Amino acid sequence: MTLNRVVIGVVTVGVLVTAGLVHAADYHHVHITSASPLQAVDWYARHMGCEPLTDRNDAADCYGVEVVFVPQTTNGGSQGTGVDHIGFSFRDLTAKMAELEAVGVRGSGVRLQRNPDGSTWRDVPGLFKLAFIFDPWGTRIELVEDPETLGFHHVHLNATDPEATLAWYRDVMGGEPASLKGRLDGLRFDGVWFLVSRNSEGVPGTTVERAIDHIAFVVDDLDPAAAELRRQGVAFEQEPAVPEGGRTSARRAFLAGPDNVRVAVVETGFAGAEAEMGSAILTTDALGPYDAPRTPWGEPDFQGIWTSSSAVGIPFERPEGVDADEVTPEEAIARHEGRLLGGIWGYEREWRDTTLEYGSAVSTQVAMVIDPPDGRLPPRVTSRRAPVLAGDERAPRRATTPAGPENLSTWVRCITRGLIPTPGGYNNGLQIVQGPGYVAITREMIHETRVVPTTPQPALGEGVTAYQGSARGRWEGDTLVVETTNFNGGASFRGSSADMTLVERYTRIGPGTLEYQFSIDDPAVWARPWTAMFRWDLDPSQYELVEYSCHEGNYGMTNILSGARARDAEAGGAR
């Protein structure tokens, strides 16, 4: 059997090689869980120096090795599995790590693995400088400074018996035995190293549905190759077949490799498969006539736990130059994933379970603002900018340090995140409970509950205000209309004033869909009223509103203020 090239696939990764006669390792794919191929291509282009392919939107050329990104459910990162990490080599590792450290984790998804002394890289005498980082989807990546092999450098395996594992890839897949700088025994598949370490915890974890799902090799014809593999006693997990959605007629088979590593063998011309995204996409089209269920007292029943995670990533205003009524599924998933990366910063793959919303839908809505029809907010009649909630990227940097808690935002003080529950990177739950004459709406962020009366109520006394104002509800057919006034101005929404009138409209437009519209009328700020909309999805199966522990105000306030006093002292000394 002669392998024309090796494909190492991982649930997120793969590489191509040959047996006997070795060819260039020119195919490598990364399989990303519930993520966006567009975002993944961008990440590897920006941080690893790869180049997007011109004929596909799910792959990048990483120094001659093709890296492919495919959405797939994952159960965790690559570390500790049979394929622990992949490696890239740079000419100046010190400069590269300084670059990544300067980028930081927020919005980039670059997480650095620091050494015990806090450094980001170390020098191994006789070998090279090395460092470890993680991509946003759990793939562990080793960065090395090896001028002899720049670019995509190696695939690093975990094994119970490293010698036996190397022998399997040598005898079955045709790797060429070699020693890396005389220090590490491995195999070469053209320009790519295969290295193996002994797993300290016994049998490595399976690669199946992990950040690196499989490694793969390419052959000209799978039939004789499969026959030869069977002759060598290799077990097949999946017989040769064209995968569902395959871009070409080239077939693929999966083998059971050593150390719980899934190995794929594909035919020449294999170009991956189109990801099925239809079931994960929500359009802005009306769902058709729907009669909402009723409570025992005859009102539309909105009770349950809802999540707005599908609306994550929808821009508030229509982006400049965008005329379409909806974005494409690929663009919708990309912006959704991009917003999640910004929201969770550099958290590990395992911390992203509720953030990723496995299997959840993603909205193709082009913008939240639906009136004015151009999707843009009306002109402002004042340049006033009310206090903006901490964490808002639009918030200006404070020129002075806070003198006390009252100088910090309501967000940092754990008082409120505002009345309008626009979706963010996490904690997008909403629970509705109803009773005769009342609707209680609990927002997951800061665990705020509004009790809205739906029968006539006396007017509030003059001068009575609150962060979330005073709400009065009524039913207009199947729509709950909530009108709120009497704000104190301390939790402004996009610069609104205390004189704002907010009208919210909740309508159940399908068994699992709650449409939420909100209109703001604030003549002191905008030239005309405006309206925005997004949708909530019912999640009766697994979503729950757990305790919201706002550590900034509950535990961190003393540190925030003591840090401010320390800065004041430094500034005073500088003067």
3-state SS string over 64-103?
A: CEEEEECCCCCCCCCCCECEEEEEEECCCHHHHHHHHHHH
Answer yes or no: is pLDDT of 180 > 50: yes
**So what's the pLDDT on residue 103?**
80
Residue % of the chain over a pLDDT of 90:
54
**Range 271-289 average pLDDT:** 74
DSSP annotation string for 508-552: EEETTEEEEEEEEE-TTTBSS-EEEEEEEEE--SS--------HH
> Given the structure tokens 């990764």, which residue do they identify?
13
Type of residue at 430: L
Q: If you average pLDDT over residues 416-425, what whole number do you get?
A: 87
For residue 556, count other CB atoms closer than 10 A to its CB.
Answer: 14
Phi/psi of residue 162, nearest 5 degrees = -55, -40
Query: What is the end-to-end Cα distance of the chain in Å, rounded?
Result: 77
573: pLDDT confidence band, cut at 50, 70 and 90? low
SS3 assignment for 405-416 = HHHCCCCCCCCC
Confidence of residue 22 (pLDDT cuts 50, 70, 90): very low
Q: What is the pLDDT of residue 343?
A: 60
Asked if pLDDT for residue 351 goes beyond 60, the answer is no
Residue ranges of domains in the chain, CATH in brackets: 7-267 (3.10.180.10), 304-551 (no CATH)
Record the tokens describing residue 147, joined without a space.
Answer: 């001028």
The residue with greater pLDDT, 142 or 191, is: 142
pLDDT digits (tens, 9 = 90+) for 514-569: 999 999 999 999 999 999 999 999 988 778 888 888 877 778 888 999 999 999 99
The CA-atom distances, in angstroms, between 5 and each of 18, 22, 187, 268, 563 are: 4, 7, 14, 9, 57
- Mean pLDDT calculated for residue range 255-284: 83
Higher pLDDT, 358 or 473: 473
Q: Supply 222's token pair.
A: 């799978």
Tell me the backbone φ, ψ of residue 553, rounded to 5 degrees: -85, -30
Say if residues 472 and 483 touch (Cβ distance below 8 Å): yes
Instruction: Give me the pLDDT at residue 135, please.
Output: 87
Closest CA to 232 of 171, 170, 164, 165: 171
For residue 347, the model assigns a pLDDT of: 54
pLDDT given for residue 168 in this prediction: 95
CA distance 130 to 111: 15
**pLDDT over 50 (residue 164):** yes
* Mean pLDDT on 168-185: 92
Q: Are 488 and 465 in contact (CB under 8 A)?
A: yes
The CA distance from 471 to 58, in Å, is: 48
Residue 36 has pLDDT above 50, yes or no: yes
With bands split at pLDDT 50, 70 and 90, how would you rate the model's confidence at 383? low
List of E strands, 330-413: 362-363, 369-371
Confidence of residue 460 (pLDDT cuts 50, 70, 90): confident
DSSP characters for 105-117?
Answer: STTT--EEE--TT
CA angle, residues 258, 349, 121, in degrees to nearest 5: 80
Quick one: average pLDDT of 74-89?
91
SS3 476: strand
- The 10s digit of each residue's pLDDT in 213-238 is 888 888 889 999 999 999 999 999 99
Nearest-5° Cα angle at 221, 175 to 172: 25
Cα–Cα distance for residue pair 355/507, rounded to 1 Å? 25
pLDDT of residue 35: 64
Per-residue pLDDT averaged across 119-135, rounded? 95
Which residues, in sequence order, are CB contacts of 12 under 8 Å at separation 6+? Answer: 30, 31, 32, 33, 69, 74, 78, 135, 137, 138, 139, 211, 212, 213
- Under the banding of pLDDT at 50, 70 and 90, the label for residue 409 is confident
Position 107 scores a pLDDT of 54
Q: Kindly report which listed range (153-167, 298-312, 402-416) carries the lowest average pLDDT score.
A: 402-416
pLDDT given for residue 469 in this prediction: 93
Chain segment 467-500, per-residue pLDDT in tens: 999 999 999 999 999 999 999 999 999 999 999 9
pLDDT at 27 over 50: no
Q: Decide if 193 contacts 185 (C-beta within 8 A).
A: no
Mean pLDDT of the chain: 84
pLDDT band (50, 70, 90) for residue 279: low
Contacts (Cβ under 8 Å, ≥6 apart) of 555: none
What's the pLDDT score for residue 360?
Answer: 65
Q: Please state, in angstroms and as integers, the Cα–Cα distance from residue 471 to each residue in 436, 438, 449, following that order.
A: 16, 11, 12
pLDDT at residue number 389? 39
